[in-house]
Structure 1
């Protein structure tokens, strides 16, 4: 976000009451004490999970209008961990469709418990919501039609640039708007922005590169589009699940489940499955390997809680006096 520093991954310590066994489910060695969020979940008997309609490959709908994607898959693994930690015999999940601009208000208003979609961690957003351990990284770049003669944002003078309202991409391109002199077109969501580019109402679309790859995969002719130019920010965007603010114990439960996925290799497996899946409506896939930035996030996420585990193992065990 222009004018606002991006936060690097911050990994709080795991509470003593939360641990992650190798079966991937959280459990409580001590009696579980509800957090504000788990109390709401327990009262409802279900957890409310936010998703997007077009945020390929992280959170979108299939041909039957059912949520899918990497972020959605992560939440499907987190729910059983929460269920076991809370000692519930059953925990149903209810998908809630969310548009980009409403994720914060819906989390703050308890209308969703976890937003299972790509959301960039920023200092401004952390004033309103909490974030899980980050699970992906991307860079804001431009997508153009092949043959447009545009190689970066400096070539956009006098042309039209589409951007989704409320995204960090909007903040970044606004910072260069006056100096470059392009016309800014505001879109409601990712699909609306891509439609502007397809219909030639815009000559370029600014968004995170992995989301641009996802939009390109939804086209009948993906190779008609190119992702060009250097990143519009000096550091990558980091994605995390959006959680209720001021409930660190709930965040710790979610983070423990994610950390086990990082450690076990399940995160890498889910990434491969999600990115190689055929994307509606034409069945194209992204087939993208995780970048060095993504791998570094996974490695750091895998270390979450490791210090506490090592410390517990190093405590000397009590021994009985000789001959007693």
Structure 2
């Protein structure tokens, strides 16, 4: 939820660091990484299923993107070092060469694209509705038909009520200060549904499939991509090629295994013959 609701503040955050891009020297990141023998990936540590710490190791889908890139660079997915960074450090750390790439549930925006170069998207985020299995409402249509009789729990934010009403115009909206509290509201039947990031919903479904159900409706689409230096086309080309072949080509098995591990579903296998993504 925090990812969706904070996206509207991206322009203001980017405006704070205009000088970094202007002073960033021309680089050959690909050669630097190859010479170093290790890829340095900036990511977070507290946002499953994207990036979190488990037994002292950085794991999650963003972490697996790093392993896929290391496999392409060194034929060894372990040759990657993760730098734990806050969300507002994703761009500054790139532009000051503290990391080679930032993969951290980063929403693609035009404002951010003035500061960094985005890779091809690897996920389309949105907002979904999570409900208790066997509850009073079976799906999205039932929630919408209930009108003002239902309450939706959502993470507190200035845009929260407006966002929920885009999908359920008449619903009551209760805002909570933490992710745990919105699920407590659902579990105690104080809310008929939780509005949260679709990726978080899938994570909860995968780990608690006997307890929760997806209402079957999502909205507010946003593209997630990694970010690299804005002035290093060779590095961007390499990363894009690696990600595209992970999603559609020779490394599909590796990427689809990761997708299934973190989101509980397997992406459709690319068809042979004419590339479907070019249609």
The interval holding the TM-score normalised by the smaller chain is 0.5 to 0.7
Query: TM-score, with normalisation over the residues of structure 1?
Result: 0.56
Query: TM-score, with normalisation over the residues of structure 2?
Result: 0.63
Structural RMSD (CA): 4.6
- The residue matched to 1:231 in structure 2 has which SS? strand
- The residue matched to 1:256 in structure 2 has which SS? helix
**Hey, what's the Cα distance between the residues in 1 that align with 2:102 and 2:187?**
29
Q: 2:211 matched to which residue of 1? A: 224
> Are the structure 2 counterparts of residues 185 and 291 from structure 1 closer, same or farther at C-alpha, using a change threshold of 3 Å?
farther
User: Residues 162 and 196 of structure 1 are in contact (CA less than 8 Å); yes or no, is this contact kept in structure 2?
Assistant: no
Aligned length: 247
User: Residues 132 and 193 of structure 2 are in contact (CA less than 8 Å); yes or no, is this contact kept in structure 1?
Assistant: yes
More helix by share: 2
> Are the structure 2 counterparts of residues 256 and 203 from structure 1 closer, same or farther at C-alpha, using a change threshold of 3 Å?
same
1:126 pairs with one of 71, 95, 113: 113
**Hey, what's the Cα distance between the residues in 2 that align with 1:43 and 1:289?**
34
Q: 2:69 matched to which residue of 1? A: 78
Q: 2:237 matched to which residue of 1? A: 252
Mind listing any 5+ residue stretches in structure 2 that lack a counterpart? 9-25
Q: 2:137 matched to which residue of 1? A: 149
**Hey, what's the Cα distance between the residues in 2 that align with 1:247 and 1:172?**
39
Return the offset for 1:258. 1.9
Return the offset for 1:142. 1.0
Mind listing any 5+ residue stretches in structure 1 that lack a counterpart? 5-33, 85-90, 278-285, 304-324
Q: 1:93 matched to which residue of 2? A: 80
1:176 correspondence with 2:163: no
Return the offset for 1:212. 0.7
**Hey, what's the Cα distance between the residues in 2 that align with 1:275 and 1:116?**
19
Q: 1:238 matched to which residue of 2? A: 223
Q: 1:50 matched to which residue of 2? A: 43
1:289 correspondence with 2:272: no
Larger Rg: 1
Range that drifts further, 44-53 or 138-147: 44-53
> Are the structure 2 counterparts of residues 51 and 126 from structure 1 closer, same or farther at C-alpha, using a change threshold of 3 Å?
same
**Hey, what's the Cα distance between the residues in 1 that align with 2:117 and 2:152?**
35
**Residues 159-174 of structure 1 aligned to structure 2 (within 5 Å):** 159-163=151-155, 173=163
**Hey, what's the Cα distance between the residues in 2 that align with 1:45 and 1:103?**
19
User: Residues 52 and 117 of structure 1 are in contact (CA less than 8 Å); yes or no, is this contact kept in structure 2?
Assistant: no
Return the offset for 1:77. 2.5
